[in-house]
Amino acid sequence: MVGILAIYIVAMNWGCIIVSLNNKKKGIDRHHSTVPLISLLLSALAALIYPYDHKKWFLLIALCDLSNWSLLCLPIIFIKYKLGSKSK
């Protein structure tokens, strides 16, 4: 059940990203936020409580979540923003 909840979070994050991109194309200023790290925590918990040997695929759930990947890009975006604000 925990793994299914993690998959649900990943699907909802993808849905939020798609809706936000569609809103941006249409000129609507409404943004739908994703929830990073929750799918990672739920996937890790599911791997811990899963009683059988094939546990590695639970981490693939977290890798499919774009909100987790966005956290990896956050320092790069922050550095570009800081460097851009100093030159102005």
DSSP string computed for 41-79: HHHHHHHHH--SS--THHHHHHHT-HHHHHHHHHHHHHH
> How much is the average pLDDT of 45-50?
90
Q: In this prediction, what percent of the chain has a pLDDT beyond 70?
A: 95
- If one counts the domains in the chain, the total is 1
Quick check: 11 pLDDT over 90? yes
pLDDT band of 53, cuts 50, 70, 90: confident
What pLDDT does 14 receive?
92
Mean pLDDT of the chain: 86
pLDDT band of 12, cuts 50, 70, 90: very high
Supply the range of the domain harboring residue 30.
Answer: 2-86
Rounded to whole angstroms, the maximal C-alpha distance in the chain is: 57
